[in-house]
Amino acid sequence: MKETPLSICEKQCVIQAVKEGQRVDGRSLAEQRKTCITFGTEWGCCQVLLGNTRVMAQVSCTIQVPKSSRANEGMLFINVEMSTMAAEHFEAGRLGQQGIEVNRLVERCIKDSRCIDLESLCILVEEQAWEIRVDIHVLNHEGNLIDAATLAALGALCHFRRPDVTLDGREVIVHQLDERDPVPLTILHYPLTLSFALFDQGKIYALDPTNLEERSADGKLVLGLNAYRELCTLQISGDGVFIRKEAVLSCANVAASRAVEMVEMLKKCLAADAAERIKGKYDGLVSSVALEAERITTQSQATAYFKTPVHNLEENADEESLSVPKTKLVKDQGIVTLETKSDVSSSESDIEMEPLPPASVVKKRVYEEIDIGNDSEEEPVMLITKELT
């Protein structure tokens, strides 16, 4: 099935809004959507929610013969699956141009930046080594698949434990999980990607674009960064996008500070998951369903496009000092500086949530379902959410 074409008025609306420093879902230009990271009960299962974009990654391992060119290294294989479940124009089993782009960028960010120590995955030189396979499944497509996919892949790799092996002469003994504690992968640094949608010939850029913004933008700038402010990947692509060097540099600086926050958040989520596991009480991905404010259906997606920001007057007064110079900059240089509005984060929750009357009903039902599967009376919410503002 072909993707529904975007109408000119929808496109114009998004572009006009961005030119005025606004976005259709009420965020500012340098603001990300709410990010949630949840881990499954299995080792190496991670699900990332970026707004309504939902991506799941599962890591698995097998013992293989290493490549002759790299005889003392294990292998890392990254695979992206985009089924029709995520969006109507995706074809199951066949990656389109978009799928290949996502796959290559995740590969470049994680594999080419050598964040996993592959030498530690070698068991016997030229004979046996671990092959780590990351399967990324896009569950719902609501823009910015690349960021969600890399975060999910990284989360899954950090979470993953492989069975311990010992050598008896030249015989390899693989220990069962109950026999010996599984071993985590050696992770050297944590690379993430941050995407900007470019508008107005690369003069305006919006962080973490939604599907609607992605489709109305001129192009896209994807930056892969780690917590040490090192660039791991960079890509500018799009039909007819022109960008100046200064814009690239300022985007890189914004992204670098965001990457630090994201890595911290991922580490916190990992620590929380580990703590829950020690307690022996974790409910895996179920918690991510429970916390969802509204169920995503095709109808609610259509209405979710346009959300009017409900700014209170008192908050506006606080923001004035920030928002005034920003709009000025648009006029003066044509370049919007991306400012962090740290004090708005508290107000953001009531803008984003906007509880629709049927949503609460849906939420209640979901909770009931969990109780059946979980047989505990209270609702253990181990999900850590943080609003990156």
Partner 1 sequence: MSGTELLSDQGLRIDGRKPNELRRIRCSLGIFAQADGSAYLEQGNTKVLAAVYGPHEIRGSKSKALHDKAFVNCQYSTATFSMGERKRRPRGDRKSTEMSTHLEETFAAAIRTELYPRSQIDIFVEVLQADGGNYTTCVNAAMMALVDAGVPLKDTVVSCTASLVKDTPLVDVNHVEQSGGSPELVVSILPHSGEIVYMSLTQRFHIDHLSKVLDTAIKGCKDIGVILKEIMKGHLTKLDTSLQAS
Residue whose CB is less far from partner 1, 206 or 236:
236
Of positions 248, 296, 335, 370, contacts partner 1 by CB under 8 A: 248
In the region spanning residues 182 to 221, those forming contacts with partner 1, defined by CB under 8 A, are 191, 202, 219
Residue whose CB is less far from partner 1, 237 or 308:
237
Of positions 70, 229, 277, 281, contacts partner 1 by CB under 8 A: 229
Residue whose CB is less far from partner 1, 41 or 237:
237
Spell out, one character per residue from 70 to 109, where the chain touches partner 1: x when CB under 8 A holds, - when not.
---------------------------x--xx-xx---x-
Residues in contact with partner 1, counted by CB under 8 A, come to a total of 36
CA-CA distance, 217 to 200, in Å (whole number)?
8
Residue whose CB is less far from partner 1, 239 or 375:
239
Residue whose CB is less far from partner 1, 150 or 233:
233
Those residues with Cβ within 8 angstroms of residue 134's Cβ, 6 or more apart along the chain or in another chain: 57, 58, 59, 76, 77, 78, 79, 110, 153, 156, 157
CA-based nearest residue to 38, from 15, 54, 18: 54
Those residues with Cβ within 8 angstroms of residue 49's Cβ, 6 or more apart along the chain or in another chain: 34, 35, 36, 37, 38, 148, 288, 292
Residue whose CB is less far from partner 1, 97 or 299:
97
Residue whose CB is less far from partner 1, 53 or 113:
113
Helix (H) or strand (E) holding 53: strand 53-64
Please provide the DSSP assignment of 191-227 as one string. -EEEEEEEETTTTEEEES--HHHHHHSSEEEEEEE-T
- The verdict on 155 binding partner 1 (CB under 8 A) reads no
Which two structure tokens, joined as six digits, stand for 135?
């399967």
Helix (H/G/I), strand (E/B), else coil: 312: coil
CA-based nearest residue to 130, from 179, 188, 189, 186: 186
**Which segment (226-234, 318-326, 346-354, 369-377) binds partner 1 by CB under 8 A?**
226-234
Residue whose CB is less far from partner 1, 71 or 293:
71
Of positions 15, 123, 241, 335, contacts partner 1 by CB under 8 A: 241
Dihedral over Cα of 19, 24, 27, 33: its sign: negative
Quickly tell me which residue has 């003066």 as its tokens. 332
CA-CA distance, 276 to 272, in Å (whole number)?
6
53-64 and 75-82: which strand pairing?
A: unpaired
CB 107 to partner 1: min, Å: 8
- The verdict on 285 binding partner 1 (CB under 8 A) reads no
- The verdict on 263 binding partner 1 (CB under 8 A) reads no
Helix (H/G/I), strand (E/B), else coil: 274: helix
CB 202 to partner 1: min, Å: 8
CB 147 to partner 1: min, Å: 17
Residue whose CB is less far from partner 1, 92 or 100:
100
Q: Which residues pair with 224 in a beta bridge?
A: 193, 233
Of positions 20, 64, 228, 281, contacts partner 1 by CB under 8 A: 228
CA-CA distance, 56 to 373, in Å (whole number)?
21
CB 257 to partner 1: min, Å: 10
Residue whose CB is less far from partner 1, 243 or 384:
243
Of positions 235, 287, 347, 389, contacts partner 1 by CB under 8 A: 235
The DSSP secondary-structure symbol of 187 reads B
Of positions 3, 119, 166, 242, contacts partner 1 by CB under 8 A: 242
CA-CA distance, 46 to 221, in Å (whole number)?
25
Of positions 38, 216, 233, 347, contacts partner 1 by CB under 8 A: 233
CA-based nearest residue to 14, from 207, 202, 214: 214
Residues within the interface to partner 1 (CB under 8 A): 97, 100-101, 103-104, 108, 112-113, 191, 202, 219, 225-226, 228-245, 248-249, 252-253, 256
